Structure 1
């Protein structure tokens, strides 16, 4: 259940902490990760818990929660250890709305924020899920896609004339929680299949209706095929043809 008020309270607590006031991007743990960890488990005694040779972000009565902002491939070792014995929820934040602030490394000056035209989509998680496909049908694995509004601070250290292209990110600070999408069983991946799709559809159809790039559509369909919520049924010209999987997928 989304609790936007409590999320805002946690944001204020983390952003206004002493560590954060010392400077943007100086935290050893990035702000977005820290906010999410404290939002899902405010009790510090249940954070950073050693289980075997691995350390879980959160371990409480609901099981293990891992906050992962990128690079799901780094979760492989933890999943191999955790999943046989515990329910594991991977929390993945996506910026549905982003404000950009630029930091001049020489002067320390921070520009006024400007809204990015790019809007994140829940389907972006498939790029990461592709890296852990072999674990996705494990009944102990759950996913939580968290759509957030963020302020992103970037250094003016890129290779282009305006120093923006190729620049590095200093920190992402959440300023609002919009939506949570939960996948608690393989059948829940159907949430990622637009209802407007025909019975049989191509990658191009999915791209157009889901409003994602062809590349992201290809990865999304690859992952959903691997868990069985859609099936590859042949080709339509040069394009692969898919249909929804059987309703008994659990």
Structure 2
């Protein structure tokens, strides 16, 4: 179901991603259509990309189950709801290095499924573009753990095909609809955070030239994000020590 725009995109981790996708989806299942796929396809593919050996997947540790536990430590694939990670992190970080992998759409194509007929309509490209800054909404939920030296983060930007059921409550049946599945097409970018200094990559360099510091509005403009997201980002950057306050109200500067 690839389009010309898909074929011209340069993806990273192509071999590892393709092998994981083939393992999870399978040639037969792909031919059978979207209805045979599981509810958490993105999660399954990333789990098999970061650790192809099933022996190191779904490992029981201190009453919890880690997605991956191998010689590098624990890897947790978290597609949303970072609140659910808090109890695991409180235990895992005392035992092993932990890497949290968070996939975010870079570009998303939407396809609508009629639940009555099973027919899938022509897919359309969503107008919104995502970037790594949108991870901070979830990172705020595990803020207390972000300075732990055992915690590492990987923000994975992916092209994704999303299938939704036409079962919403408005006349188009799209508002309030159910997400059926998401199928990753390839990885565009991977942002790695292994130490507090790595958060500096989120501070646009042009802000350093602003006399007297910068506020959330200036940050939002430089980062090409909305002000609400900029406030969340600055909250975390200040907490981990990537920026400091100037003494003026809501003004920040580089360390």
With the length of structure 2 as denominator, give the TM-score of the two structures.
Answer: 0.89
For the 8 Å contact 1:224–1:230, the answer to whether it is kept is yes
Q: 1:113 aligns with which of 96, 101, 123?
A: 123
Give secondary structure in 2 for the equivalent of 1:95: strand
SS in 1 for 2:139: helix
- Hey, what does 1:248 align to over in structure 2? none
Determine if contact 2:39/2:181 at 8 Å carries over to the other structure: no
| Partner in structure 2 of residue 224 of structure 1 | 237
The runs of 5 or more residues in structure 1 that have no matched partner are 246-250
Using the TM superposition, name which of 37-46 and 115-124 deviates more: 115-124
1:23-34 to 2 correspondences below 5 Å: 24=34, 30-34=40-44
Aligned counterparts of 2:180 and 2:32: Cα–Cα separation in 1: 14
Structure 1 counterpart of 2:222: 209
Q: Which has the higher strand share?
A: 1
Q: 1:20 to 1:73 in 2, by over 3 A?
A: farther
- Give the C-alpha shift of residue 19 in structure 1: 6.5
Query: Secondary structure at the residue paired with 1:215?
Result: helix
Say which is worse superposed, 24-33 or 102-111, in terms of deviation: 24-33
1:122-201 equivalences under 5 Å are: 122-198=132-208, 199=210, 200-201=213-214
Structure 2: which 5+ runs fail to align? 1-11
1:112 CA drift (Å): 1.5
Bigger mean CA offset, 10-19 vs 39-48: 10-19
Inter-partner Cα distance in structure 1 for 2:28 and 2:83 = 32
Using the alignment, how far apart are the partners of 2:17 and 2:181 within structure 1? 18
Q: Is the 8 A contact 2:79 2:103 kept in 1?
A: yes
Number of aligned pairs?
241
User: 8 Å contact 1:8–1:175 — kept in the other structure?
Assistant: no
- Counterpart secondary structure, 2:59: strand
What is the alpha-carbon distance in structure 1 between the residues aligned to residue 248 and residue 173 of structure 2? 45
Task: Tell me which stretches of 4 or more aligned residues in structure 1 moved more than 3 Å.
Answer: 17-29
8 Å CA contact 1:25, 1:171 repeated in 2:
no
2:252: which partner in 1?
A: 242
Cα drift, residue 42 of structure 1: 0.2
Compared CA separation, residues 48 and 17, structure 1 to 2 (3 A): farther
Q: In structure 2, which of residues 40, 64, 82 is the aligned counterpart of residue 54 of structure 1?
A: 64
Give the 3-state SS of the residue equivalent to 1:59 in structure 2. Answer: strand
The answer on whether the counterparts of 2:38 and 2:181 sit within 8 Å (CA) in structure 1 is no
- Structure with bigger helix share is 2
Aligned mates of 2:206, 2:168 — CA distance in 1: 41
Which of 57, 79, 85 in structure 2 is aligned with 1:75? 85
2: CA distance, partners of 1:23 / 1:4: 23
Structure 2 SS opposite 1:81: helix
Change (3 A) 1:57 1:189: same
Normalising to structure 1: TM-score of the pair?
A: 0.91
